[in-house]
Amino acid sequence: MVKKWKVQRRVPGAPGSGSSGPPWVLIAGVVTVVAVGLGALYPRGGPDVSDAGMDAAVEAADTVDAETTGFTPPFVPTQEASPAHPEGVPLPNLPLMPNMVPRSPEVVSAAYEFAARNPDVLEYVPCYCGCESAGHTGNADCFVQSRNQNGSVNSWEPHGMACIVCIDVAQEAMQLHASGGSVGDIRSAVEAKYLPRAISQTPTPAPPAE
């Protein structure tokens, strides 16, 4: 009996034992790596960084202390402070305090009352907790949400209840104010403490000239 043999046609480059064709998978990998490398060196649509721009960036980086994340806060011109909550007028009840507040209830309550009665201080003192994203322009906004035309507190801002940064900034301002510090001195002291490690700051107006 004569056996019939099937003749298989070999497709060039197809995988098979004993194939002597080029290693297409390896070549494709090399081409991909080269393309990625060129893309990193010459990003499409990226800015053309000039030597002058690079020098300016290096100079700016050199001015930042490596141990801090300090930044230059935005300059905001001074403006008139809100009227203070009238003396003799009871303050509205504070929002319900959470079970775990970052400071004692007495300290938290004192910060709210100081913000209500001293907008001419805390409206010129920045906050560093990131609350500028909520529209706050100073530490006073962390405690007082709105006032009536005569300055009396209409509604409280609950954010200050649970924020240790807001409370500590207000407490420091309150202590410096009690010891006779000017608004400019209070702001300078708060900035000296928080700015070196701050990553944000409220756009707080400058205090009026004294």
Q: Which of 187, 185, 181, 184 is nearest to 201 (CA)?
A: 187
Task: Give the Cα separation of 168 and 189 in Å (integer).
Answer: 13
* Residue recorded with tokens 């007082």: 144
Instruction: Evaluate if residue 111 carries a pLDDT over 70.
Output: yes
pLDDT mean over 77-91? 95
Give the per-residue pLDDT at 25: 44
Task: Give the Cα separation of 80 and 43 in Å (integer).
Answer: 49
pLDDT mean over 21-49? 40
pLDDT-derived band at 101 (thresholds 50, 70, 90) equals: confident
Instruction: Evaluate if residue 71 carries a pLDDT over 80.
Output: no
pLDDT mean over 176-197? 96
Task: Give the Cα separation of 182 and 191 in Å (integer).
Answer: 14
pLDDT-derived band at 70 (thresholds 50, 70, 90) equals: low
Radius of gyration of the chain (CA): 32
Say if CB 167 and CB 111 are below 8 A apart: yes
What's the CA dihedral at 189, 194, 195, 198 to 10 degrees? Answer: -170
Q: Which of 161, 177, 167 is nearest to 139 (CA)?
A: 167
Task: Give the Cα separation of 140 and 117 in Å (integer).
Answer: 10
**Dihedral sign for Cα atoms in the order 62, 63, 68, 72:** negative
Read off the pLDDT of residues 112-133 as tens digits, 9 standing for 90 and up. 999 999 999 999 999 999 999 9
Domain ranges in the chain are: 105-197
